[in-house]
Amino acid sequence: MNLRTHLIAGAGLAVMAACVHTVKIEPSDKPIKIDLHITQEVRIILDKQVEDMIADNPDLF
């Protein structure tokens, strides 16, 4: 390789080294909201399935 190729490669590396990305993680000022409504619906569905199973199999218990 000649001097010109080395200079171009060095300049390219210098430019790439200058491109540094910064990632910032900041906490939210709003409170965290947890919605339990979904869990309640799942429980209602499961309770209904259990009731149907017991109704279909009265000798189960």
Contact 44, 50 (CB under 8 A): no
Per-residue pLDDT tens digits for 7-19: 888 888 777 776 6
- Interatomic CA distance for residues 47 and 54, integer angstroms: 11
- Interatomic CA distance for residues 7 and 14, integer angstroms: 10
Which residue has tokens 């490669």?
9
| pTM (whole model) above 0.85 | no
φ/ψ bin of 32: left (φ > 0), alpha (ψ from -120 to 50), beta (otherwise): beta
Predicted confidence at residue 37, as pLDDT, reads: 64
Predicted confidence at residue 40, as pLDDT, reads: 62
Residue spans of the domains in the chain: they are: 32-61
Predicted confidence at residue 26, as pLDDT, reads: 86
- Interatomic CA distance for residues 1 and 38, integer angstroms: 66
